[in-house]
Structure 1
Amino acid sequence: MNKKALGAAALAVGLTASLGGCAAGSDGGGGDSAAGQELSILIASSGDAETQSVTEAANAWAADNDATVDVIVANDLNQQLSQGFAGDSAPDLFYMGWDQFSTYASNSYLEPYAADLSTAGDFYSGLVDTFTYDSTFTCAPKDFSTLGLIVNTDAWAAAGLTEADVPTDWDSLEAVATTLTTDAQVGLSFGLEYARAGAFMNQAGGQLISDDGQTVEADTPENVAGLEYIQQLHEAGVYKTPSELDSGWSGEALGKGAAAMVIEGPWIKGIKNDFPDTNYAAYELPAGPEGKSTYTFTNCWGIPQGSDTTEAATSLVEFLTSDEQQMAAADAFGVIPSTESAAALYAESYPENASFVASADYAVSPVNFAGSTSAVADFNSQLETLIGGDAQGILESFQTSLQAALDEANAQ
């Protein structure tokens, strides 16, 4: 997934079009065989490499099953998918983002097929949780990304730092950021948004939703501490937002040499296109007062509920999520496999990204219940005022809006 696509997911921009109708062929029946079936797949592609990889895999399955598959690259996945459901013409298989999943699942648009896959027990438990609705594992995760600390190794060496100096907690993160800050570069940069700042809230021991799923816990002292730590870094002059560095995202700031460390995911490799001379290394995020935490961003393979191609589409998902095919996708465009066994192979094959895999053991998905996206979007807007602002007040506002959304979701 490229920077723009991941950025859209990380900002949790919600589904704006209303959903209506049902899947094409939604007569409640299921096909008896894949033979002779004509399937369509709607994807959001990061580029030619991803499109070609998905197409080759789909064609290989089709050849083995006497079927045909048409891979469609969406210009706007959310819009085209919502229009497809509204017009009874949903694709037979599609990318379903973590931030849209609950909205679709709560409206009964998704076939709950994943628990019946032969590989159901092979996926990371955190990814299974992300795509579980009403206690049912609904759709199979296709890959994932986690956040990590990305270090410009040339700046690191120039500051006299070694591997032993890699920060492991908040104190050492501030210390290293201070060492790396010069007149020409700041020590640390990341976007001031929930999908980055929220990791600090979690590291401080905070969470947004109570364990029973009934109460929002946004304005707790722990979450306040996470945001105030960011304020502390900025006040010390060792952290700046990408916009303060005349950059569109922190990866650009890293590539330009304006920031020595950033918080991003494996998509950071994209900076090599614009800044080929940039050398970097990826590490797990430093732990906070209450331990390690990072976010995971993922998609699943969605199937329309009741579609008459469900059996064939499920067979195709089994093929696409096999270790062999997931590693082929990883080789082609860099995504991390969603099964633990394939991810282990990925870490061996791409040791520079091993830290992203290691953090999957404790990574959590950002809040994503149906209706939460508008509250998160408002929170993101308020976070823009965090520097020099009131962390407690921002979280109190978020508490109110997110609780209202949760109450509405629980009432359905």
Structure 2
Amino acid sequence: MPIPRIATVSVAALAALTLAACQGGPSPDPTSSEPASGPSLRMLVDGTPAEVDVLQTQVDAWSETSGSDVRIVLASDLEQQLAESFANANPPDVFALPTTSLERYEGYLEPYGRFADAGDIVPSLLDVVSDGSELQCVPRSADATTLAISEQAWADAGLTDADVPTTWEQLETIAGALTTDDAAGLAIDPDAEHLGALLAQAGGALVDESGAVADSPENASALDLAVRMHDAGALAWPSDLGASSAAAAFATGEAAMAYVDLGDLLAAEAAAPAPSETPDPTSSDEPERIEPTETLDASDAPESEGVDESADPSASPDASASTDSAPDAAALLDGVRLVPLPAGPANAAAFASSSCWAIPADTRTGDEARDLIAFLTQAGQQVELADATGTVPVTTTAGATFAEQHPERAAVVAAVAGGADMATVLGPAEATDALDETLATLASAEPGEADVAALLADLQTRLEQQLE
């Protein structure tokens, strides 16, 4: 029986308007370099310039055999620029899309159809993008939460390999042993993706086939564990440590262990100053953002949360202009050990996340786009792209190769393979958004003052109202 869907703002009218514009509006201007043997494709992606350099090399190799050129546009705000491209009836031929946005773009995507190598895609990722026997898009890259351990803090506490926590009880004990006057034993972001994993590991959920189930004993046991550890001083929220995230707290030595995603951890490690360095408040490790040059009306596009409505998709830097190099991931993870999340009473699953390659509805370049996506999903291309990014491959074949080549990231590959989709386990986006608010309230409570039962009761009431 399907999980009840919490009512959301309908995009049916928006889809009808935009698709009508796509069918009856002006076609994109052809490029002067369009080869006679095949159309040129425009690809919109996010990521760092260094990541896009690798992608550019891959699409160039595809172009040599296909006869179709590919122009990659690096988005400074993917969701905003993608929404505006649809509003202007000129979506890219291929684009990266977070799988969390699939529901928002329902009706705007051309179903991929049968994918020859679908059987090699990690099942948990495949389930998210499948609609019956059809793929709505093809997984592009993946990440999952693991437990990061500081090897120095571990050694200083006299701990050994035998002490790596595999259960909640062991996690509580080890976090206490690692806690010092200078660092918390464990840091976790108080959000659905990270702290919410405890609910899933306890066998809890927010919404199931019966309706809202937020105030369950399973959810209470998960949050009771977090509160107990926080009250004891073994667990700290990032805000307790003056950090923006658990990954940042870990990277700066404020926490000996942390629940982290690989991408967040690598970014935090790259941004963390060396012990003798003083951070420069004027510097930034983020790719340069190009300021918008004109205002476009994105009101007729699929809704995008928190977008800057003055952003201009045409202002994105062309990927070919970048010369930035990617930090070496192995060097960034020096002194860091990544291990699977400790298991709760029900399971040890972490939440896996992914983005996918999508094609716009009623596209004229669908055959070429599908062929390009199939090429990019080959094991060799997957491994190359994962080498340059804070992600891991989406296929089991490429994942096995990547884990062998990068043992420091093997735990992430395993976490993706054994992970679960947050929306599938806990409930739809509106439910996890409500959980985020509840967990933020939990994290704001002073030690000894958090009331788990009251917080879950309030969350239950809100979800029941949304389900009406």
* Same fold? TM cut 0.5: yes
SS at match of 1:37: coil
Equivalence for 1:321? 377
In the TM superposition, residue 368 of structure 1 has moved relative to its aligned partner by 7.0
Does structure 1 residue 111 correspond to structure 2 residue 167?
no
Please give the alpha-carbon distance, in whole angstroms, between the structure 2 residues aligned to 1:97 and 1:402. 25
Counterpart of 1:196 in structure 2 is: 194
Give the aligned residue type for 2:355.
N
Pick aligned residue for 1:352 from 408, 414, 431? 408
| Amino acid aligned to 2:454 | G
- Supply the distance in 1 between the matched residues of 2:55 and 2:420 (Cα, whole angstroms): 27
Report the Cα distance in structure 1 between the residues aligned to 2:18 and 2:461, rounded to whole angstroms: 32
Structure 2 partner of 1:131: 129
Cα distance in 2, alignment partners of residues 206 and 378 from structure 1: 15
Given the alignment, which residue of 325, 331, 334 partners 2:387? 331
SS at match of 1:88: coil
Question: What is the rounded CA distance, in whole Å, between the counterparts of 2:467 and 2:86 in structure 1?
Answer: 25
1: CA distance between counterparts of 2:66 and 2:201? 48
Higher mean C-alpha displacement, 339-348 vs 129-138: 129-138
CA contact (8 A) 1:15 1:78 kept: no
> Could you list the runs of 5+ residues in structure 1 that have no partner in the other structure?
1-13, 28-32, 408-412
Q: 1:264 aligns with which of 260, 266, 271?
A: 260
Specify which of 214, 217, 221 is matched with residue 221 of structure 1: 217
Farther-moved stretch of structure 1 (161-170 vs 251-260): 251-260
Alignment-derived partner of residue 94 in structure 1: 95
| 1:99/1:368 contact within 8 Å kept | no
Q: Matches of 1:311 and 1:401 in 2, distance apart?
A: 45
2:351 and 2:104 map into 1 onto residues whose CA distance is: 20
Distance in 2, Cα, partners of 1:357 & 1:404: 39
| Deviations 1:269-321, CA, capped at 9 Å, x for gaps | 23332345772110000001112120001001111122111111100100011
CA distance in 1, matches of 2:141, 2:181: 40
TM-superposed deviation, 1:87: 1.9
Return the TM-score normalized by structure 1.
Answer: 0.86
SS at match of 1:338: coil
Q: Does 1:76 align with 2:77?
A: yes
Q: Which amino acid aligns with 2:225?
A: Y
Q: Which amino acid aligns with 1:396?
A: A
Q: Does 1:274 align with 2:271?
A: yes
1:220-263 CA distance string (max 9 Å, x none): 11112111111111011100111110111112211222110000
Shift of residue 91 of structure 1?
Answer: 0.9
Residue 388 (structure 2) pairs with residue 392 (structure 1): no
Do the aligned partners of residues 390 and 208 (structure 1) sit closer, same or farther apart at CA in structure 2, a change above 3 Å counting? same
Secondary structure at the aligned position of 2:346 is classed as coil
Q: Does the Cα contact within 8 Å between 2:248 and 2:269 map onto a contact in 1?
A: no
Say if 2:439 is the partner of 1:383: yes
CA contact (8 A) 2:115 2:135 kept: no
Aligned residues of 1:146 and 1:265 also touching (Cα < 8 A): yes
Could you tell me how far apart the structure 1 residues matched to 2:380 and 2:465 are? 44
Contact kept, 8 Å, 1:372 with 1:402, in 2: the verdict is: no
* Between 250-259 and 88-97, the greater mean CA deviation after superposition: 250-259
Equivalent pairs, count = 382
1:158-197 CA distance string (max 9 Å, x none) = 0000111000001100110010001111100011111111
CA distance in 1, matches of 2:20, 2:170: 52
Where in structure 2 are the equivalents of 1:15-30 lying within 5 Å? 21-22=18-19, 26=23
Q: Do residues 241 (structure 1) and 237 (structure 2) align?
A: yes
CA distance in 1 between partners of 2:75 and 2:20 (Å): 18
Q: CA deviation at 1:152?
A: 0.6
Equivalent residue letter for 1:137: L
Compare the two structures and name the one with the higher helix fraction: 1
When the two structures are superposed, what TM-score results if normalisation uses the length of structure 2?
0.76
Q: Secondary structure at the match of 1:191?
A: coil
What does residue 46 of structure 2 align with? 44
